[in-house]
Chains A and B, each alone.
Chain A
Amino acid sequence: QQQVKQSPQSLIVQKGGISIINCAYENTAFDYFPWYQQFPGKGPALLIAIRPDVSEKKEGRFTISFNKSAKQFSLHIMDSQPGDSATYFCAAGVFGGSARQLTFGSGTQLTVLP
């Protein structure tokens, strides 16, 4: 019930295209959904996060869409750039809970071709 399933495992997009990464969760107690971005040789870094009181959150070219009834959320990268090439992890956790754990998805390796 703690699992977060992420797809696709890898994604290749042309420059200027839209990248879409999907995640699904089972635990209905999850109410905090961040996305982390990891460049080669670096640790993951927080990119954007959403709580289920909104269905969408946008920051620049990055948008999270959230579907509470389906227990799914996705990351959309508009106008994808070669500099966006990285591994993206979705995660889920409990907002304000006593446990400070996040359950991470398996990651998506995004390659944006020039």
Chain B
Amino acid sequence: DAGVIQSPRHEVTEMGQEVTLRCKPISGHDYLFWYRQTMMRGLELLIYFNNNVPIDDSGMPEDRFSAKMPNASFSTLKIQPSEPRDSAVYFCASSLFLAGGVGELFFGEGSRLTVL
């Protein structure tokens, strides 16, 4: 399997622009997570989906952030309008539910966002 695939790997945009980050989870995984990583705050969980349904979006910082998962093989994280403080590395991760266990989180390589 190719692993979790994220695009773009790098995005530089200007304040006020819309940003869309994309993620393809590992085939067969039923959980998808969006994390944000910054030096100040470390790894923060933004939202996660189970079987394409958003379960917990309490980590989404503001209404400017939205996430969708239209099918099992694709998810997007959108920021509109973007602000300089949104600059971070955004990771997508997927996992498979294991009865009586915790599925390993598989992370993508991240999308580094810079908002000027």
Chain A residues with a Cβ under 8 A of chain B: 32, 34, 36, 41-46, 89, 93-97, 99-102, 104-107
By Cβ-Cβ distance, the 7 closest A-B pairs, closest first, are A43-B107, A106-B42, A104-B43, A96-B100, A100-B31, A46-B104, A32-B102
Q: Taking chain A's interface residues, is the majority helix, strand, or loop, or is none over half, making it mixed?
A: loop
Q: Let me know if B110 is at the binding interface, CB within 8 A.
A: yes
Residues of B within 8 A of A89 (CB): 42-43
| Residue contact B56 to A95, C-beta cutoff 8 Å | no
User: In the complex, how many angstroms separate the beta carbon of A9 from the nearest chain B beta carbon?
Assistant: 10
Apart from A94-B102, A106-B42, what are 19 other A-B pairs with CB-CB below 8 Å? Answer: A32-B102, A36-B105, A41-B109, A42-B109, A42-B110, A43-B107, A43-B110, A44-B105, A46-B104, A46-B105, A89-B42, A95-B102, A96-B101, A100-B31, A100-B50, A101-B45, A101-B48, A101-B56, A102-B105
Q: What are the residues of chain A within 8 A of B42 when measuring CB–CB?
A: 89, 104-107
| CB nearest to B104 among chain A residues | A46
| CB-contacts of B75-116 with A (<8 A) | 91, 93, 95, 97, 99-110
Output the nearest chain A residue to B9 by Cβ-Cβ distance: A41
- Interface band, chain B: 20 to 34
A-side contacts of B21, CB under 8 Å: none
Point out the residues of chain B lying under 8 angstroms from A95, CB to CB: 100-102
B4 contacts chain A at the CB level, 8 A cutoff = yes
Interface centre among B42, B103, B105, B109 (most CB of A within 10 A): B105
- For the complex, what is the distance from the CA of A31 to the CA of B106, rounded to whole Å? 20
Question: Would you call B43 and A45 a contact (CB within 8 A)?
Answer: no
A99 touches B56 (CB 8 A): yes
Please determine whether B48 and A100 come into contact, CB atoms closer than 8 angstroms.
Answer: yes
Give A97's nearest chain B residue, CB to CB: B102
